[in-house]
Structure 1
């Protein structure tokens, strides 16, 4: 049994000195590529990290699907603000968004700007359950899971395709790491049956779909996501020696230099980049083909 305790980092507050140096305003810090780039660069420097990370919240994909998002400020990151859909029938009409437009397009543009300037970039993406929770009340969604699971799978297929497209486009724009999480889609939140039948297989399809683009990049799974997959026998982990790397971010950067094709890693938090490593290894994640 793999155990992972989420560190629960407070990612809401942006320090005042970061704001002054970045020279950003709100809500442009979340909606405009140039402000996103400025904030990412200064946060990287402030945190003494190896990577510049974008975006700064988990609502970008849901917003692209039509979710109502309160954009936030320096104290509070963007977050859902009510639900766009009130029934499964309404939700079933969703279409894959144009990821070149809106805030999701601005984030991708920011990835390109950062990468072209020489930054190592992490694009944070989320999975279907996290997106769906921002679109419809979870009670209505679970009712739909019981009454018409085939319809739910059709809805999830649309979302999965979009998430894969987003991740692939991030790689094409120069992201070194695609950081993937679906924190509300793990067994201790949705239960083992729904996880086994819906969330877990969905995560695997997304991971495989992004890997297919090829190239030298990592897919970094949230520790809760990777632990859930391994504990349900959907993946297994293996240790990758990190040599003399001091911090987790340095270890990831060193691994990237050695890659010839994309691999998946997990069992740690992407926010641990600046932290000293307690074990000299990265946990590789291999998908079990059934």
Structure 2
């Protein structure tokens, strides 16, 4: 029987597996729910700032039969915070979020500090990965990065940022290059610490928001700049993009990741038809995971497999009040059908 790490690696490399892997990367796709925190006796927001607790919660996800990976961190605010944005760390029922921006215009990007990987929450993530690496074998460790567009629109006000992509195009590219260089450094540090895969979530970099022209010019360009910056380490990579894909399938296919992940608004059968040669991940409804029943979740997971998903995962981050039984039902359905 394949280990979870072997199963995920095989799928990413296009070789045979006994069944689809079941993962939830972390980052934007947070997999920690209230019931899990209670069973592990480890809670947020403390786990956002303590590497032992962060690693402990990531391990609890696997040990509780939810997903076949470890994934850290559990939010997508670390990069923005390290570059000067103000962040509220949330609670046991909601995740960290940006409460104050670092700059008001792309013109000010030179004022931003570079990420300090030796202190703050960036170091917490790296230490948590090291702990998981030391204490486990056979389970893939997924490190996470907030995508270039999403980071850029967290460091400054999003509406202003989107307008300045057009109005201050040259400076917007310079700002995006700065942001992407910081993400490359953080990603490579996660790989050095022991991450087996890097997942990049860019929910703000959608074709629906940007339109095909700017999606290609900014989202695709800087996702690929980031992915290429990690490739010296020959790592597997996952890119998750939110929103409808129908206007931008051609552009999405240019993203040079090992895996493409979509949310539940994207019909997996359609994605498979448009992206025949790509490894696809997704996309069990998080609404069903929070408000449905285990049998419904199992049916949705099986539907993802039939529709062409290679890696089964939630469509987005889990609601903290999702039931443990519902979350466990995804992996149970895959094992039952193996």
How far has the Cα of 1:82 moved from its partner?
A: 3.0
Task: Give unmatched runs, 5+ long, in structure 1.
Answer: 1-8, 240-264, 284-290
RMSD: 3.2
1:11 to 1:219, Cα distance in 2 relative to 1, 3 A: closer
| Residue of 156, 160, 171 corresponding to 2:176 | 156
- Mapped to 2, the partners of 1:12 and 1:168 lie a distance apart of 23
| Residue of 52, 59, 62 corresponding to 1:41 | 59
- Mapped to 1, the partners of 2:56 and 2:236 lie a distance apart of 24
- Mapped to 2, the partners of 1:157 and 1:30 lie a distance apart of 28
Q: Does residue 305 of structure 2 align to residue 278 of structure 1?
A: yes
1:90 to 1:236, Cα distance in 2 relative to 1, 3 A: closer
> Which residue of structure 1 lines up, in the alignment, with residue 206 of structure 2?
186
| Residue of 257, 268, 274 corresponding to 2:281 | 268
- Mapped to 1, the partners of 2:105 and 2:118 lie a distance apart of 28
How far has the Cα of 1:51 moved from its partner?
A: 0.5
| Residue of 56, 59, 68 corresponding to 1:50 | 68
1:237 to 1:178, Cα distance in 2 relative to 1, 3 A: closer
1:219 to 1:11, Cα distance in 2 relative to 1, 3 A: closer
- Mapped to 1, the partners of 2:41 and 2:141 lie a distance apart of 21
Task: Give unmatched runs, 5+ long, in structure 2.
Answer: 1-27, 260-277, 286-297, 312-338
- Tell me, yes or no, if the aligned pair for 1:222 and 1:269 is still in contact at 8 Å: no
Local SS of the residue matching 1:191: helix
Q: Does residue 222 of structure 2 align to residue 202 of structure 1?
A: yes
- Tell me, yes or no, if the aligned pair for 2:62 and 2:69 is still in contact at 8 Å: yes
- Mapped to 1, the partners of 2:49 and 2:145 lie a distance apart of 16
TM-score (norm: length of structure 2): 0.64
TM-score (norm: length of structure 1): 0.74
Report Cα offsets for 1:3-62 as digits up to 9, x if no partner.
Answer: xxxxxx99587223x223322244221111011011111122235321011111111111
Q: Does residue 167 of structure 2 align to residue 147 of structure 1?
A: yes
1:167 to 1:89, Cα distance in 2 relative to 1, 3 A: same
Report the count of equivalent residues: 247
| Residue of 35, 38, 48 corresponding to 1:30 | 48
- Mapped to 2, the partners of 1:80 and 1:180 lie a distance apart of 18
> Which residue of structure 2 lines up, in the alignment, with residue 220 of structure 1?
238
1:10 to 1:126, Cα distance in 2 relative to 1, 3 A: closer
- Tell me, yes or no, if the aligned pair for 1:220 and 1:270 is still in contact at 8 Å: no
- Mapped to 2, the partners of 1:153 and 1:94 lie a distance apart of 15
1:203 to 1:23, Cα distance in 2 relative to 1, 3 A: same
